[in-house]
Amino acid sequence: MPPGKNWTMEDFRLDPSRPLYEQFTEQIRTMIAKGELEPGTRLPSVRETASSLRVNPTTVMKTYQELERQALLVTYRGQGTFVTREEAAIDRSRKELARTAVNQLKETAKSLGLTPEQLWALALEE
């Protein structure tokens, strides 16, 4: 998303059966982790976002608040919400995403009595 532009519905892949704010949170988080949203970028306002995504403003608020809690966003009163300039926070987020994914795979492997390698092989079978 170029600076100054607004989100569009195509920026997100939404599954109606899961909480919207959760999906927005995850997807913005990975945009930041990947670098698509650069440090210091100003995000569209809650109201703008809500209307462009045709979503309830409280849903957007919840999203931004959650990402603030994770120290990935910072809000300056009266100016808006920005991607943090603390690269450490972003790094931490990247690692956490990676660890979660890897741990889930390890867990699944363990619960089936397999090593991660065996699980990987099983997934590729046939």
Partner DNA sequence: GTGGTCTAGACCACC
Partner DNA sequence: GTGGTCTAGACCACA
Decide which of DNA, a copy of itself, none touches 94; Cβ closer than 5 to 8 Å per partner kind: a copy of itself
Which of 28, 33, 53, 60 contacts a copy of itself by CB under 8 A?
Answer: 33
Q: How many CA atoms lie within 13 A of 118 on its CB side?
A: 9
Q: Minimum CB separation from DNA for residue 27, in Å?
A: 13
| Amino acid present at 124 | L
* Residue 2 vs 125, nearer CB to a copy of itself: 125
- The continuous run of DSSP H or E covering 76 comes out as strand 73-76
Starting at the edge strand found earlier in the chain, the sheet holding 42-43 runs: 42-43, 80-83, 73-76
Q: Which residues bind DNA (CB under 7 A)?
A: 17, 19-22, 43, 45-48, 54-59, 61-62, 64-65, 68, 75-81
8-state DSSP, 11: G
70's tokens:
């994770």
Which of 40, 86, 102, 115 contacts a copy of itself by CB under 8 A?
Answer: 102
* Residue 8 vs 96, nearer CB to a copy of itself: 96
Q: How far, in Å, are 32, 66, 116, 117, 118 from residue 104 at the CA level?
A: 22, 22, 10, 14, 15
* Residue 77 vs 123, nearer CB to DNA: 77
Per CB under 8 A, residues contacting a copy of itself are: 16-20, 30, 33-35, 56, 74-78, 94-95, 97-105, 108-109, 111-114, 119-120, 122-126
